[in-house]
């Protein structure tokens, strides 16, 4: 009897969400991953009875969302034009509630140097870094920060363009690798230690951290291939940390998430320094992966939340972030 009642409640909740667009694919370098994330989300929402449909912004006009009566959007896009505030701004103008962070937080989080500037202003721990537009800038960074260094494009995700430079000779190849994805490269002091990630659900003071995950990639190289397609990376969830260290990592991650103004959900990546176990913030992802190898679903399962229910809960939190529906005109009134 109780099970039947719960199923009815879930069905009612799904119907109340209306016609849902799962935004996936897009035009970024992470299109392939986004298609995998979107396929998983789409199947999960349909499993829960949601009237969900795939929608690829690189192949269709976003105005179709309004013309075809979509009431909300689940953003499963990654990278530029999907995670950087672009789509979020378009959805605000269309008056269609969406999952995840708003325009400003999305734009800030996509820009790693901007994110780190804010963290430093808040007194949060993040490795020393320099911006580099030229190879000469990169060489100056070696003199100022020392070796080894981590190089990556300032505005890209999924570890695309990431390299480690252990010597002046390896610097040029690392810089060139990162520079192909962005005009600005971030060069930061490499932190030797455990690679951790913290998934976060919610907004503001109600945001909560899910169990910390430790990532152990082959030869310590958690690159694009090992993230999404390899089977040799090990994920320890919860991470084998002392309770007080795990609490500190979660608290730092939550502070970093709130400092950027993130909403709905996200994932904060950190390094735990070998020796003193001090956490160092690397970046925050406002539209994390939802593939079979992804970390947020893994942490959610450990916390007792299935993939399907995670997707349903995230969709239920979809909202407009700028202004009030009453000042949005007819489109806002239709989805209020």
Q: Looking at the structure, do residues 56 and 155 belong to the same domain, yes or no?
A: no
Peptide bond between residue 235 and the one before it cis (omega within 30 degrees of 0) = no
Under the phi-then-psi rule, with left for phi > 0, alpha for psi from -120 to 50, and beta for the rest, what region is 69? Answer: left
Q: Looking at the structure, do residues 216 and 241 belong to the same domain, yes or no?
A: yes
Q: Looking at the structure, do residues 262 and 204 belong to the same domain, yes or no?
A: yes
pTM for the model: 0.90
Q: What is the dihedral of CA 223, 247, 263, 184, to 10 degrees?
A: -40
Q: Looking at the structure, do residues 92 and 22 belong to the same domain, yes or no?
A: yes
**Domain tally, the chain:** 3
Q: Looking at the structure, do residues 114 and 202 belong to the same domain, yes or no?
A: yes
pLDDT recorded at residue 49: 97
- Whether 257 is a known active-site residue: answer no
Q: Looking at the domain assignment, is residue 277 inside a domain?
A: yes
The residue from 289, 307, 308, 328 that is catalytic is: 289
Q: Looking at the domain assignment, is residue 314 inside a domain?
A: no
- Whether 267 is a known active-site residue: answer yes
Q: Residue count of the chain, please give it.
A: 336
Q: Looking at the structure, do residues 230 and 121 belong to the same domain, yes or no?
A: yes
The residue from 181, 224, 228, 307 that is catalytic is: 228
> Which CATH number do you get for residue 89?
3.40.50.20
Q: Looking at the structure, do residues 198 and 273 belong to the same domain, yes or no?
A: yes
The residue from 30, 83, 156, 308 that is catalytic is: 30
Q: Looking at the domain assignment, is residue 21 inside a domain?
A: yes
Q: Looking at the domain assignment, is residue 293 inside a domain?
A: no
Q: Looking at the structure, do residues 17 and 80 belong to the same domain, yes or no?
A: yes
Strands 193-201 and 149-153: unpaired
Q: Looking at the domain assignment, is residue 256 inside a domain?
A: yes
Q: Looking at the structure, do residues 94 and 238 belong to the same domain, yes or no?
A: no
Q: Looking at the domain assignment, is residue 297 inside a domain?
A: no
3-state helix, strand, coil in the chain (%, to 5): 45, 20, 40
Q: Looking at the structure, do residues 113 and 213 belong to the same domain, yes or no?
A: yes
The residue from 34, 37, 106, 285 that is catalytic is: 285
CB 226 within 8 A of CB 217: yes
- Whether 182 is a known active-site residue: answer no
> Which CATH number do you get for residue 133?
3.30.1490.20
pLDDT by residue for the chain (336 residues), tens only, comes to 555 555 655 666 788 899 999 999 999 989 999 999 999 999 999 999 999 999 999 999 999 999 999 999 999 999 989 999 999 999 999 999 999 999 999 999 999 999 999 999 999 999 999 999 999 999 999 999 999 999 999 988 757 899 999 999 999 999 999 999 999 999 999 999 999 999 999 999 999 999 999 999 876 554 455 444 556 889 999 999 999 999 999 999 999 999 999 999 999 999 999 989 999 999 999 999 999 889 999 999 999 999 999 999 999 999 999 864 444 433 333 332
The Cα 104–Cα 85 span in angstroms is 7
CB 122 within 8 A of CB 98: no
pLDDT recorded at residue 177: 95
Q: Looking at the domain assignment, is residue 205 inside a domain?
A: yes
- Whether 334 is a known active-site residue: answer no
- Whether 330 is a known active-site residue: answer no
- Whether 251 is a known active-site residue: answer no
> Which CATH number do you get for residue 215?
3.30.470.20
CB 178 within 8 A of CB 163: yes
Tokens of residue 161, six digits? 């363009």
The Cα 119–Cα 125 span in angstroms is 7
Q: Looking at the domain assignment, is residue 54 inside a domain?
A: yes
Domain residues for the domain of 276 are: 108-125+192-286
Q: Looking at the structure, do residues 116 and 230 belong to the same domain, yes or no?
A: yes
Under the phi-then-psi rule, with left for phi > 0, alpha for psi from -120 to 50, and beta for the rest, what region is 39? Answer: alpha
The overall longest dimension of the chain from CA atoms, in Å, is 70
The residue from 31, 72, 267, 328 that is catalytic is: 267
Q: Looking at the structure, do residues 42 and 173 belong to the same domain, yes or no?
A: no
Strands 208-209 and 193-201: antiparallel
């Amino acid at each position: 009897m109780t099970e039947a009642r719960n199923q009815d409640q879930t069905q009612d909740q799904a119907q109340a969400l209306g016609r849902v667009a799962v935004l996936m694919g897009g035009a970024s370098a992470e299109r392939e991953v986004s298609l995998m994330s979107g396929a998983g989300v789409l199947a999960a929402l349909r499993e829960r009875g949601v009237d969900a449909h795939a929608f690829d912004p690189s192949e269709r006009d976003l105005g179709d969302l309004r013309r075809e009566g979509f009431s909300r959007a689940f953003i499963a896009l990654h990278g530029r034009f999907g995670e950087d505030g672009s789509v979020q701004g378009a959805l605000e103008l269309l008056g269609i509630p969406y999952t995840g962070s708003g325009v400003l937080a999305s734009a800030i989080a996509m820009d790693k140097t901007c994110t780190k500037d804010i963290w430093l202003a808040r007194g949060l721990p993040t490795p020393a870094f320099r911006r580099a537009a030229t190879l000469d800038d990169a060489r100056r960074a070696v003199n100022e920060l020392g070796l080894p260094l981590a190089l990556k494009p300032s505005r890209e995700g999924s570890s695309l363009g990431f390299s480690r430079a252990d010597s002046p000779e390896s610097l040029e190849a690392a810089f060139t690798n990162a520079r192909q994805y962005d005009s600005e490269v971030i060069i930061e002091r490499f932190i030797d230690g455990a690679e951790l990630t913290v998934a976060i659900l919610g907004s503001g003071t109600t945001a909560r951290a899910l169990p910390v995950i430790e990532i152990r990639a082959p030869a310590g190289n958690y690159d694009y291939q090992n993230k999404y397609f390899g089977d040799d990376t090990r994920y320890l969830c919860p991470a084998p940390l002392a309770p007080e260290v795990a609490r500190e990592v979660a608290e730092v991650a939550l502070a970093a998430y709130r400092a950027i103004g993130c909403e709905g959900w996200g994932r904060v990546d950190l390094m735990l320094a070998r020796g003193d176990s001090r956490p160092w913030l690397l970046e925050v992802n406002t539209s994390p992966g939802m593939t079979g190898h992804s970390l947020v679903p893994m942490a959610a399962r450990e916390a007792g939340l299935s993939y399907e229910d995670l997707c349903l809960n995230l969709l239920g939190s979809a909202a407009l972030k700028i202004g009030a529906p009453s000042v949005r005109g007819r489109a806002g009134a239709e989805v209020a």
